[in-house]
A and B are shown apart, each in its own frame.
Chain A
Amino acid sequence: MANKKPCAVSEKEHKEYSEARRTFLKQSSAVVALALTPPTILKAAANDEKIASYFEQVPLTLEVNGKTESLSVEPRVTLLDMLREQLALTGTKKGCDYGQCGACTVHVDGKRVLSCLSLAVMQDGKKVTTIEGLANGDQLHPVQEAFIKHDGFQCGYCTPGQIMSAVACLREGHAGSPAEIREYMSGNICRCGAYSNIVDAIVDVKQGGQKI
């Protein structure tokens, strides 16, 4: 249900498209809602407008990778879907979507969190950093460099989450030993099994002593 923003359309076209779509959604979803809603709720919501209010978009302003974004989302949209569908920041991956794999890890106000279990509306006024926000122009972040150097991935699907978690792990001061790194990276599952190289990459950055 996220308000998808196709990259190749102009702002005006996008606005028309999304308004038309919103109207359609409101009408069609009101019909669907009527069909699916238990009688008690129908009694409480005697007119269409009230049912439509369940599908109202909520305004939201937050900073993503240093840029202020003003959006509107349905309350049920997760931060993950908002980043991917509305802001086209597809670096953050949807793995399990249930908080079990860590592929969707981003930083909110400097803390690593799971964007799949975060509602976008609850991030109002916050600062979000995704994998796209780590590099400085063409210069990769030291942790990104280290993952390449140590071959810290195979298929790469878990990698954005691994890197966001690794950066946080280093900043938190939880990269003191390989054992501590393994414990504090345990929220990021890698199906290919690149774990030992990921630990090597983090150890390397830690020993390099760069400011991250």
Chain B
Amino acid sequence: MINFQYTRPSSQKAAIDALAKDASAQYIAGGTNLVDLMKRNIMAPEKLVDINKLPLRDIQEVNGGLQIGALALNSVVSEDDTVVQKFPLLSLALKAGASPQLRNMATVGGNTLQRTRCPYFYDTAMPCNKRQPGTGCGALKGYNRMHAIFGASDKCIAVHPSDMCVALTALNAMVLVTGVKGDRRIPFGEFHRLPSDTPQKDNILEHGELITGVWVPDDGFTKNVHYLKVRDRASYAFALVSVAAALYIQNNIIKKARLAMGGVAHKPWRLAEAEKALIGKKVSDATFQQAAHIAMRGAKGYGYNNFKLKMAPNTIIEALTVAAKA
């Protein structure tokens, strides 16, 4: 790891100013991803601005929803009483991610900004348009079993690794951002990008902008929810495919539905058309199969990940089935 300057500002303004002045500076919170990437020389900021002194840890009910500070730990959020009772999908997704040690370090803001675990991104001997634009994509014709089946480009087929973000996308959460130009509220579904020709940009955040928290609307998904993560190990592995499912069922009729997938695209993949197909339908295998069929429109395999074309719809059906019975 190259050495760097380290500062620990105690005000939000000082933190933002520190990055505004320095293009090579980065915020650090939990460090679980950034320190890893710095050790491998994939990221090499010359200055780290430690934001842990900022008062961004609170979890509180605000404006018909839940506001979670950017520095709230993944472990704390996953076991918070309000989250468990009113936003159980978020709790399930967080507990499916990483390990207890990492969840004790990782923050909500940092989880949102974590980078892909594509092995070609991590291996500095390999070409990677995300790490080094213009060098090509090693995964496109390489060993791509972990890779995207939706929304990829010929520049990048990496996937976003977060579980938390899949649940927050399904729950219509907002990313709360501040910066020198002022505050922004960005819907989760619009925060992360597809790779297109610029896979080096994971999201629409500008340099120096700081995530202060997320806000999740309370839409009443307290009962019929499930987060199903399919992976190579029973625990502590990134998703091959994951599905966040939330239903609101009355008299066996689906009144509201939310579906999002992880491990399949460069961003948490919202299944809006499949959601529409669920609403007003009876809870049944046929309904769920139809939704999964619609969800898979436009999917494309790249060779080693072709198995996901079958695994993804099956995971959707299973997640919906478990959610409906919950």
Contact = CB atoms under 8 A, between A and B. Distances in A.
Interface stretch (A11-19, A64-72, A110-118, A200-208): A110-118
Contacts of A105: 101
B69 to A, nearest CB: 17
Contacts of A188: 99
A174 interface: yes
Nearest to A122: B50
A172 B35 contact: no
B251 interface: no
A113 B101 contact: yes
B4 interface: yes
A122 B234 contact: no
A160 interface: no
The 4 closest A-B pairs by CB, nearest first: A187-B99, A186-B235, A75-B6, A186-B236
B3 interface: yes
Contact of B36 (A41, A99, A187): A99
Contacts of A112: 100-101, 104
A58 B6 contact: yes
A187 B48 contact: no
Interface residues on A, range: 35 or more
Interface of B: 1-6, 8, 28, 31-32, 35-36, 38-40, 46, 48, 50, 52, 75, 98-102, 104-105, 233-236
Contact of A78 (B4, B35, B52): B35
B32 A117 contact: yes
B52 A122 contact: yes
A75 B50 CA distance: 11
Contacts of B40: 98
A58 B5 CA distance: 10
A121 interface: yes
Q: Is the interface of B mostly helix, strand, loop or mixed?
A: loop
A54 B45 CA distance: 12
A149 interface: no
A184 interface: yes
A27 to B, nearest CB: 15
Contact of B39 (A75, A98, A102): A98
B105 A114 contact: yes
B5 A182 contact: no
B3 A76 contact: yes
A54 B4 contact: yes
A119 interface: yes
Contacts of B8: 122
Interface of A: 1, 41, 53-55, 58, 74-76, 78, 97-99, 102, 105, 111-114, 117-119, 121-122, 165, 168-169, 172, 174, 182-184, 186-188
A121 B39 CA distance: 16
A164 to B, nearest CB: 9
Given A98-B39, A119-B31, A113 B104 contact: yes
A168 B38 CA distance: 28
A98 B99 CA distance: 13
A183 B75 CA distance: 14
Contacts of A54: 3-5, 46
A174 B31 contact: no
Contacts of B50: 121-122
A169 B289 CA distance: 39
16 contacts: A58-B6, A74-B3, A75-B3, A98-B39, A99-B102, A112-B101, A114-B32, A114-B105, A117-B31, A122-B8, A165-B100, A168-B100, A172-B100, A186-B100, A186-B233, A187-B100
Contacts of A78: 35
Contacts of A183: 234-235
A187 B235 CA distance: 8
Contacts of B35: 78, 99, 117-119
Contacts of B48: 75, 119
A182 B100 CA distance: 11
A165 B100 CA distance: 9
Given A122-B50, A186-B236, A75 B5 contact: yes
